[in-house]
Structure 1
Amino acid sequence: MTSTQRTASLAIPGGRFLIVGGASLVGSTTADLLLAQGAAEVVILDNFSFGARETIAHLEGNPRVRIETADITRLPQLLRAIRNVDGVIHLAAMMTISMDRDPEVGLEVNIDGVRNVIAACCANGVKKLVFASSNAVYGYGPGVAGELVETTPFHSAGAPPAAVLYGASKIIGEQLCRDAFRRYGLDYVILRYSTVYGERQHYRAANALYIIETHDRLKQGLAPRVLGDGSETKHFVYVGDVARANALALAAPASDVAVNLSGPAPVTTLELVNLVAEVAGIPIAPEHVAPEPGKVRLTTGGAFRIAHEEAERVIGWKPEVTMREGIRRLIAWREGSKALAAE
């Protein structure tokens, strides 16, 4: 029997699920979806060092939602929080910008934290773990080109240390999942996210900054900035599509697999900046600038595509929201939030 033939599916209606790092862009959207699909309980676990109470404010008071303040580097806290749940979605991680600022804490969270989550899942008899990995497992620089599939190796030449550490930590997290499957029979699905964007967007993702910093400058009447000639390829995936993938990974019979999540098509930085200006209705031409010294920048070696066909085969997922529509929703949310704050 192959791993994709294992019976590892969970029914969302009536199920109990815990989202580690749930007070986040992806976590809050996934919680909304699981509740809409009939989950009996959704536990949101966060230490609120990066997650924000405002992100999950609309869920407070919901009788099917439990909010747990806990730290994934503290195993006893996880052991208590993960009791009586069927499935766990592990989202909590230090991203590249945070890894640049504090690599020691970043490695503790991204490696020891994953190990603790797995240990708590095994101790509490959790039926399935969904682990949020990243396309950073393929690396950065000249080696990243062409079609990136689930077996593409890691490239690190020329990448900043924080980016390499982040990508390597995700590789280790994936291998910890594989080890737990072999040792203890913990079913899991790894989802390798592209850069996630959408409503409740934050400023911590290096690539997502292209979107929100561009919008910020346009609103200030300033020309948006494009690094170099703007030909670098970026891959984004809309947060609603990611939430749907998380739910499908729980419900699918697949286990012991890793699949890519990416949007319908790649985009260059110049195309992205122009698209944000067009959707925002602020036609200010971009200015081409050199990279800021000391600022973390994730470079690519040329045109590439992150293939997501395996995700459709394994969990029945493919992206539905185009970049234009996703940016339209993000800008509408940002402007709506500001309008409400001004009232």
Structure 2
Amino acid sequence: MTESTTSPPASAALPIRGARVLIAGAASLVGSHTAEHLLRAGAREVLLLDNFAFGTPEAIAHLRDDPRVRIVRADITRLHELLTATQGVDGVLLLAAHMTLGFAQTPWQAIDVNVRGAQNLIEACRLHRVRKLVFASSNAVYGYGPGVQGALHEDLPLHSVGAPPAAVLYGASKIIGEQLCRQAWQQHGLAYVALRYSTVYGERQHYRAANALYIMDTYDRVRRGERPVLPGDGSDSKHFVYVGDVARANLAAFESAATDVAVNISGVDPITTRALVQLVLDYCGSRLTPQFQPDPPGTVRLTAGGAFHIPHDKAGALIGWRPEVPMREGVRRLLAWREAQART
């Protein structure tokens, strides 16, 4: 994605204090944590928009009593609903989307949500002169498969050779979303920042994301006394990022002067599959050893990637953000939350 050659205007910065911010796809892992951060930062009102097809009321139940929170039931594929919801809004965070598993199960529906839904929200932002849009993109824009190796910098193209179709479709949908944002900036001056999230994990984790699901599956197996499964030899890597760090990145994108940019939002360091499994075993105090069990062809899984890492230097330079929570601490927080949920 090529950046604008012009200097971003001062109006591209949206201070959170006193702002009205809408989160599309709010009843989610990232949405609920970002809402908490917005409220702590002094937002005047936070609108939590969701159709609750995937998001759950429980994810945002703890926010309901805050008088600055308004829950909006709406669907991003219905433009008229978005036109109503975005009236008087200063900033919009677009999280609502199907992920890789959605593209494997219902590809046409996933394309409709990720592409037409994104364009609908962009159009609503344009018509209501929303000051800034933050678009949740993904490191899937770099592709998937054994050819994805080394440092995945923001100027790399999509790699699709040997990748599962669902992963390619998901990555392509995020590329389209970024370019729709860029077109709206060039033609209408809608300021935006695209954040290319790595695999997000943390408290209120759901069971839909293929990669974060691997942590939960591993934990569940170990707690049942079953050996964890390594689909490969354990050397494949993945770059996770803790949800609290992602929420901070969302706020930093709003408040920065940057526009017409896409930046990686990744964790402190990448981790191999074997090391990730060991973190779960250590947390559980288990002496179980992993078993090697290759996935069936076409499985969308953590280990379908190669040895790579995702630099976040550009995010530091352009929006002033860096990750803070290392993987061991993040996994500890996630699994402690999971145990607390099991007790309730």
For the aligned pair, the TM-score class normalised by the smaller chain equals: over 0.9
- CA 210–127 in structure 1, closer or farther in 2 if over 3 Å, else same: same
1:242 aligns to 2:246 (yes or no): yes
Give the aligned length: 340
Question: Identity of aligned pairs, percent?
Answer: 61
Cα distance in 2, alignment partners of residues 306 and 184 from structure 1? 32
Cα distance in 2, alignment partners of residues 116 and 75 from structure 1? 5
TM-score (norm 1): 0.97
Q: 1:157 aligns with which of 161, 178, 185?
A: 161
Q: What residue number does 1:6 align with?
A: 9
Cα distance in 1, alignment partners of residues 275 and 141 from structure 2? 25
Shift of 1:285: 1.2
Contact 1:46 1:69 in 2 (8 A): yes
Cα distance in 2, alignment partners of residues 98 and 221 from structure 1? 30
RMSD: 1.3
Q: What residue number does 2:67 align with?
A: 63
1:76-95 residue pairs with structure 2 within 5 A? 76-95=80-99
Q: What residue number does 1:139 align with?
A: 143
Deviations 1:303-332 (A, max 9, x none): 211110000000000110000000000011
Q: What residue number does 1:331 align with?
A: 335
Structure 2's unaligned 5+ residue stretches are none
Cα distance in 2, alignment partners of residues 17 and 270 from structure 1? 40
1:1-343 residue pairs with structure 2 within 5 A? 2-3=5-6, 5-7=8-10, 8-292=12-296, 295-297=299-301, 299-300=303-304, 302-340=306-344
Amino acid across the alignment from 2:9: R
- CA 93–119 in structure 1, closer or farther in 2 if over 3 Å, else same: same
Question: Once structures 1 and 2 are overlaid, which stretch shifts more, 135-144 or 102-111?
Answer: 135-144
Question: Once structures 1 and 2 are overlaid, which stretch shifts more, 227-236 or 290-299?
Answer: 290-299
Cα distance in 1, alignment partners of residues 122 and 39 from structure 2? 24
Cα distance in 2, alignment partners of residues 334 and 213 from structure 1? 12
Cα distance in 1, alignment partners of residues 243 and 319 from structure 2? 17
Shift of 1:143: 2.5
Amino acid across the alignment from 2:190: L
Contact 2:238 2:302 in 1 (8 A): no
Secondary structure class of the residue paired with 1:207: helix
Shift of 1:271: 0.8
Structure 1's unaligned 5+ residue stretches are none
Shift of 1:293: 5.3
Cα distance in 1, alignment partners of residues 323 and 239 from structure 2? 12
Cα distance in 2, alignment partners of residues 117 and 188 from structure 1? 12
Shift of 1:3: 4.6
